[in-house]
Amino acid sequence: CCGGTRQILLMFNVVGNRSPQLQQQLCKADRMQFWHEQSHRYHTELQDFKKLTAEAMVVLKNEHGMLIRDLEGAAVRMDRVEREIDYVETHSSPRACANKADKVVEQGSVVIFFLYFLFSLTSDCVEIISGIRSVKILKRVGSPKGMWTRDPRSSKVYVFNGTTGDRIYQFNSVRDFSHSPGVTSSTQIKVPSEWSGPGSAVYNGYLYYIKQEFGTDVQVVKYDLLSGTVIDTAMFPVDNHAAVYNLNPETVADLAADDEGLWLLYATGDSEPNISLAKMDPATLDIEQIWDTRCPRENAEAAFVVCGTVYVVYNTRLASRSRVQCIFDVNDAMINEEAPLLYFPRRYGAHASLKYNPEEKQLYGWDDGYQIIYRVTMKRKLLV
């Protein structure tokens, strides 16, 4: 009966439903079916648990340092538990297995529950970028500056040539784009007002773009790509002339959209040296929260958001090697030493924009007119 993975044993335990019947079920042929049910229940319970713990979050943030220390201890214990289970699995008779493993698992369950508790406090996703695995130069379309991105939901590709305009090019897939001579096989979309800077985002069929008409405030526009209508607009009270990235002055503000919401990177004014971050409700464009990332605008060329963490990419005026040199985690869960120093592969140009796609775990870069895809490797935040 002990052939099952320890994950199954651990999951059973987290669910907290361990009866003699369960022990027997563990040994039955249909335990996979059972595991599926339990895992579903476990998921539901975890959701409820998350709701409960949201309130505790504020208090716990203050105790962050302590939590990290506890977590380190927990990780060590977790390792030990895993080793013990391995031992039990390989050295015990089938009968004794369930009971022994069960005891070990019991100790482990406290640890596991604590770890999931911690995740529920921080964010649904717990990953950070650990490296840049590969680069693919797809094609060269348009002017030196611009942006391109792929809607994670529809997988359609959108090309924004230049630094302002009222037109975007839509392709059905990355493949279609890469096979297209120029932009000829695209659908051209004309938006009702000009987009300003390579700082747009596309998510789930909606285009979010920055509008900055002469002498007016910066606005965020939500545009329905399917029906071709503006859904909503919101003013953003920022200084007109302060660009968010000092090396790309055309980027008035930079939007990013993912499962967690709509993010806006901006500069509050010329005298403010650091990049600010706002989290917006993608449905209403309401601002929910604002942070000072403490990442300087000076020598920044682009930034992107992954799992509630902002990665700011720096370069030099004479373009050299782009690197992520400042990270800001809105959940404050990243341990400083964890933050990776990421170097992009050496290129001749500089990035006009970098857009992260959470589904594919890759970055869509626009570098001196080249459209580039970087695949990134991830690791889990914290010590699990």
Ligand X SMILES: *[C@@H]1O[C@H](CO)[C@@H](O)[C@H](O)[C@H]1NC(C)=O
Binding site for ligand X (CB under 6 A): 141-143, 161-162, 182-183, 273-274, 292, 294, 296
Alpha carbons 260 and 309: distance in angstroms, whole number? 11
Q: Would you give the DSSP letter of residue 35?
A: H
**161, 147 contact by CB (below 8 A):** no
Closer residue to ligand X (CB): 143 or 240 = 143
CB of 180 to ligand X, least distance (A): 10
Helical (H) or strand (E) element with 362: strand 362-367
Nearer Cβ to ligand X, position 192 or 273?
273
Q: Which of 248, 204, 177, 199 is nearest to 355 (CA)?
A: 199
DSSP string computed for 83-137: HHHHHHHHHS-HHHHHHHHHHHHHHHHHHHHHHHHHHHHH-S--EEEEEEEEEEE
Cβ-based nearer residue to ligand X, 74 or 141 = 141
Residue 152 or 296 with smaller CB distance to ligand X: 296
Phi, psi of 381 (to 5 degrees): -60, 155
Q: Rounded to the nearest whole angstrom, what is the least distance from the CB of residue 300 to ligand X in the complex?
A: 12
Q: Which is nearer to ligand X, 213 or 292 (CB)?
A: 292
Contacts of residue 153, Cβ cutoff 8 Å, sequence gap at least 6: 203, 204, 205
* C-alpha to C-alpha distance for 47 and 152, rounded to whole angstroms: 24
CB of 72 to ligand X, least distance (A): 26
- Cβ-based nearer residue to ligand X, 80 or 139: 139
| Residues sharing a CB contact under 8 Å with residue 329, sequence separation 6 or more, in sequence order | 308, 309, 310, 381
Shortest spacing between CB 185 and ligand X, in angstroms: 12
Pair 104, 81: CB distance under 8 Å: yes
- CB 332 to ligand X: min, Å: 15
Find the angle CA(70)-CA(73)-CA(78) to the nearest 5 degrees: 120
Q: How far is the CB of 177 from ligand X (least distance, A)?
A: 12
291: CB partners within 8 A, 6+ apart: 276, 277, 278, 328, 330
Q: Least distance (Å) from ligand X to the CB of residue 291?
A: 11
Cα–Cα distance for residue pair 223/340, rounded to 1 Å: 35
* CB closer to ligand X out of 3 and 237: 237
Q: Whose Cβ is closer to ligand X: residue 131's or residue 182's?
A: 182
Please, which residue, 116 or 370, has the CB nearer to ligand X? 370
Q: How far is the CB of 267 from ligand X (least distance, A)?
A: 11
- Residue 7, classified by CB atoms within 10 Å of its CB into exposed (0-12), middle (13-18) or buried (19+), is exposed
Q: Which two tokens stand for residue 152?
A: 């994670």
CB of 101 to ligand X, least distance (A): 49
